[in-house]
Amino acid sequence: MVWAGEEFGPFSLWPHLPDCPRIAVILPFVGLFAAVIVAATPSSQLCTREQSFTDSTPGCKNTATPHVFQPAFLNVSKWIWTGENPTPGGNNIISTRPLRKNITTPCDKCAICATIVVASDDAHTFYVNGVRIGAGGDFKQGQALFVALQPSWNLFAVAGQNTIANSPAGVMATILIHYTDGTSATFITDESWRTLEAAPPTNFQLASTDDSSWAFAAIQGTFENSVWGQPTLPPVLPLSGSKWIWTSNTANTGAAVASCAFRKTINQCAKVAVCATVLIFADDHYTLYVNGASVGSGSFAGGAAIAYTIPNLLPTLNTFAINATNDVGSAGLVATILVTYQDGSNETVVTDGSWKATLTVPQGFESPTFDDSDWPNANVVGAYGIAPWGTGLAIPSA
Ligand SMILES: [Ca+2]
Ligand SMILES: [Ca+2]
């Protein structure tokens, strides 16, 4: 579904506090809980396993479960700019312009994380709740960004740049917000966004900046009809930084017909993990578990890597476990995991020699409390791109 934003009122004053009784309770709890974790667990120590972060927030019990990744389709979005040139898609001066949208969560939901795909002519820097989460510049292909959200409202801000004199200028984004009840909703750049015919003021990306007197953005074109053509979605995640791993370093030329177990525990004490996106492929097939729960399975016969959204990470310790089976010939496992943290940052974890691997699959190996300390590290078979798999693997779009 597409919410154009009108239901929350583009004419309402910002910050717009909805009439949700829970809001006064939730936000202090988020900060307090995060602060307790940071203060109590120095990053030099292993963390203890905490209760799910969102479950501790009154009114925000997280019942979302892992699922196959859902693309943030750009084809529902619109190109926006200031309207300095009243002709949509017309030429603009060299300039940087602020674009902002506060998205209020419906009263009966709690936002947890988002996938953002953004394209721009000529460049953009993207902020969420004041934190810079990425920058890029391409009107032919969107950039994928992943970010953890606040439960009740979130401020999306973009500094759009037109770097070529007398050329069209525009930003197009689709924001797919995941809620703790397992539902999601799509938001787009449209005429409800706020902008200025001036350079972004200092701290324009912060919630403390009042944009209620700013103008509304002007539509420069739609996905179907604009001077830019139709931008494509980027790959959900890259595999280019990942290694093929197995229990022997020559598995690309042949390996035992067997099932192997792989484990990687991400232990980040100084931050609160919220969501993850996983892209994974195995020769010949696998089942992926996160914190002991089965997420999904895939096979070589599918010919494509599969992406998953994990919306229910634990705050500090998260265990990714994979049962991978070789049926014949070469064997390998390759994956990229992107974890989003409560503070707006993210971390990419790839399959490499730091993973644990065994040539058997012990009972209960997928459990977060399983002791893998006596397992050997995985063998690196080679970088993504090596034979026999090459770089031809199909990767889903963001
Ligand atoms: Ca331009
Ligand atoms: Ca094989």
Average pLDDT over residues 29-48: 41
Nearest ligand to the C-alpha atom of residue 160: 1
pLDDT at 310: 98
Residues of the chain with pLDDT > 90, as a percent, come to: 83
Residue 354 Cα to ligand 2 midpoint, Å, equals 23
Question: What average pLDDT does the chain have?
Answer: 89
Query: Bigger pLDDT: 24 or 65?
Result: 65
pLDDT at 334: 98
Residue 148 Cα to ligand 1 midpoint, Å, equals 30
The alpha-carbon radius of gyration of the chain (Å, integer) is 22
Asked if residues 357 and 262 have their Cβ atoms less than 8 Å apart, the reply is yes
Nearest ligand to the C-alpha atom of residue 259: 2
Residue 383 Cα to ligand 1 midpoint, Å, equals 37
Residue 163 Cα to ligand 1 midpoint, Å, equals 6
DSSP 200-245: PPTTTTSTTS--TTSEEPEEEEESSSSTT--PBPPBSS--TT-EEE
Asked if residues 357 and 226 have their Cβ atoms less than 8 Å apart, the reply is no
Strands 111-121 and 143-148: antiparallel
Residue 328 Cα to ligand 2 midpoint, Å, equals 4
Rounded Cα distance, 122 and 207, in Å:
26
**Sole residue written with tokens 């992107």:** 338
**Sole residue written with tokens 């990306």:** 205
pLDDT digits (tens, 9 = 90+) for 342-390: 999 999 999 999 999 999 999 999 999 999 999 999 999 999 999 999 9
- With a CB cutoff of 8 Å and minimum separation 6, the contacts of 237 are 144, 277, 279, 307, 336, 338, 348, 395, 398
**CATH 3.40.50.2000 is the classification of domain 6-22+59-222:** no
Rounded Cα distance, 130 and 277, in Å:
23
Residue 166 Cα to ligand 1 midpoint, Å, equals 8
pLDDT at 268: 86
Residue 74 Cα to ligand 1 midpoint, Å, equals 19
pLDDT band at 48 (very low <50, low <70, confident <90, very high): low
Nearest ligand to the C-alpha atom of residue 324: 2
Please indicate whether the domains covering 6-22+59-222 and 243-383 agree at the CATH topology level. Answer: yes
Count H helices and E strands in the chain, helices first: 1, 26
pLDDT at 227 over 90: yes
Query: Bigger pLDDT: 13 or 245?
Result: 245
Residue 308 Cα to ligand 2 midpoint, Å, equals 23
pLDDT digits (tens, 9 = 90+) for 249-271: 999 999 999 999 999 999 988 89
Q: How many residues does the chain have?
A: 398
Rounded Cα distance, 36 and 27, in Å:
14
Residue 393 Cα to ligand 2 midpoint, Å, equals 15
pLDDT at 49: 53
pLDDT at 294: 98
Residue 122 Cα to ligand 1 midpoint, Å, equals 5
Nearest ligand to the C-alpha atom of residue 388: 2
Rounded Cα distance, 384 and 382, in Å:
7
CATH topology of domain 243-383: Jelly Rolls (2.60.120)
Rounded Cα distance, 3 and 7, in Å:
8
Cβ atoms within 10 Å, residue 87: 11
pLDDT at 60: 83
pLDDT at 58: 64
Residue 83 Cα to ligand 1 midpoint, Å, equals 14
Residue 278 Cα to ligand 2 midpoint, Å, equals 22
pLDDT at 56: 54
Residue ranges per structural domain of the chain: 6-22+59-222, 243-383
What amino acid occupies position 134?
G
- With a CB cutoff of 8 Å and minimum separation 6, the contacts of 216 are 10, 191, 192, 193, 194, 195
Average pLDDT over residues 177-181: 97
pLDDT at 293: 97
Across 222-252, b (16+ Cβ under 10 Å) vs e yields bbeebbbeebebbbbbbbeebbbbbbbeebb
Residue 186 Cα to ligand 1 midpoint, Å, equals 27
The residues whose Cβ lies within 5 A of ligand 1, an ion, are 121-122, 162, 164, 167
pLDDT at 43 over 60: no
Rounded Cα distance, 120 and 126, in Å:
11
pLDDT band at 95 (very low <50, low <70, confident <90, very high): very high
DSSP 102-138: EEEPPTT--EEEEEEEEEEESEEEEEETTEEEEEE--
Residue 257 Cα to ligand 2 midpoint, Å, equals 8
